[in-house]
Amino acid sequence: MSFDRDHERHILLARQLIRNEARALEEAAARIGHEFVESVEMIASMKGRLGVIGVGKSGHVARKLAATFSSTGTPAFFLHASEAVHGDLGALSKGDLALIVSHSGETPEVVALLPMIKRLALPVIAITDNARSTLALVANVVIAPGDVAGSDPIGLAPTASAAAAMAIGDALALAVAQHRGLTPADFEHKPGGALGQLLESVYRHDGSKDVA
């Protein structure tokens, strides 16, 4: 009987977690507005590369987003906040743009990095749940998914909040590609053409491109 009860508990937890993340994504989607548009235009017009910065779980999200931007035509790289503080900040240079992902916006490694980035006079886009954080105050543009942290079970690890941050980053990458006029043909070299198919579905939906 206990084995059956454990099964039920596991299923209930899984369903709760997935529904929590779905609600977080819906809230993040509802909040998309002028900050998102401004971020798209900033990234699309930058002269250098996009440095996507994070630490901890947000660092894993940032690493994935750097790969997404790179594969959709935006020169990007991941920069671990801790390593940046200890010398890797040299990876950033004039003309670059910093996209910083931080759940709290108060992570010590990220906060310590901010004065260095500002001395380089680099624009900063922040994806953070805390629109009143130190990171948010320093950033040029803040995209806040909303109060999604409460959806994280027990508060042990960012799950819903990480999903929301990643979704926003993915949306930014595809919107920048669309802003630059990239079409599915530009991604035919990708295995399986998945990115091209995704862009094609976007263009067909908004009617901005006539894709054969």
Lowest-confidence segment of 32-46, 52-66, 173-187, 191-205 by average pLDDT: 191-205
Whole-structure pTM value: 0.82
Tell me whether residue 114 is in a domain: yes
At 13 the pLDDT is 85
DSSP output for 178-206: HHTT--GGGGTTSGGGHHHHHHHHHHHHH
Tell me whether residue 40 is in a domain: yes
Tell me whether residue 35 is in a domain: yes
Tell me whether residue 209 is in a domain: no
Tell me whether residue 212 is in a domain: no
The more confidently predicted of residues 45 and 158 is: 45
Question: What pairing do the DSSP bridges indicate for beta strands 97-102 and 50-54?
Answer: parallel
At 136 the pLDDT is 96
DSSP output for 48-92: S-EEEEE-HHHHHHHHHHHHHHHHTT--EEEEEHHHHHTTGGGG-
Tell me whether residue 196 is in a domain: no
Tell me whether residue 101 is in a domain: yes
At 190 the pLDDT is 54
At 38 the pLDDT is 98
Percent of the chain exceeding pLDDT 70 equals 80
Tell me whether residue 203 is in a domain: no
For the domain that residue 52 is a member of, what is the CATH number? 3.40.50.10490
pLDDT at 124 over 90: yes
Q: Report the number of distinct structural domains present in the chain.
A: 1
Domain that holds residue 73: 2-180
The whole-number average pLDDT for the span 174-184 is: 88
Give the mean pLDDT of the chain.
Answer: 84
pLDDT at 91 over 80: yes
